[in-house]
Structure 1
């Protein structure tokens, strides 16, 4: 089980702040993106492609990064 937490525009797109999904032990960010696109539509995958993913204490965009029990999905933030 992986707890997925969504922030900002991604939370708006999926209509929730978090959910828990089942993935095999060797699942990666690419697997997460595929599952979310299948659930929420291909337009979400375009958004996910520009997101960063907080895996443990590391922020990454590498689709081959293995999932951990909690993953934060962070869209690009504007600011200054």
Structure 2
């Protein structure tokens, strides 16, 4: 399943880009692909992040991804 991943804040910094594509069938699979692609810093960021699938919060690693879906990676934000 090709999914567009939008990366924000620390996730964008860890990847050096604000968007990527992954082929994964589940949220956990996408997390694993991103960790493998971008390394230890990204793995730490993903461990603290929240995720949205087409704008809806996703909490379970086994959440199914659909081809063409958008996955937003939202690390904790500071400021106000």
Structure-1 residue corresponding to 2:17 = 16
Aligned-partner Cα distance in 2 for 1:65–1:21? 15
Greater Cα offset, 6-15 or 62-71: 62-71
Structure-2 residue corresponding to 1:78 = 78
Structure-2 residue corresponding to 1:40 = 38
Q: Deviation of residue 57 (structure 1)? A: 2.9
Structure 2 segments unaligned to the other structure (5+ residues)? none
Q: Which runs of 4+ in 1 moved over 4 A?
A: none
Q: Deviation of residue 66 (structure 1)? A: 1.8
Aligned-partner Cα distance in 2 for 1:41–1:15? 12
Count of residue correspondences:
77
TM-score (norm 2): 0.82
Query: Residues 24-47 of structure 1: CA distance to partner in whole angstroms, max 9, x if unpaired?
Result: xxx111111111111111331121
Q: Is the 8 A contact 1:51 1:74 kept in 2?
A: yes
TM-score (norm 1): 0.82
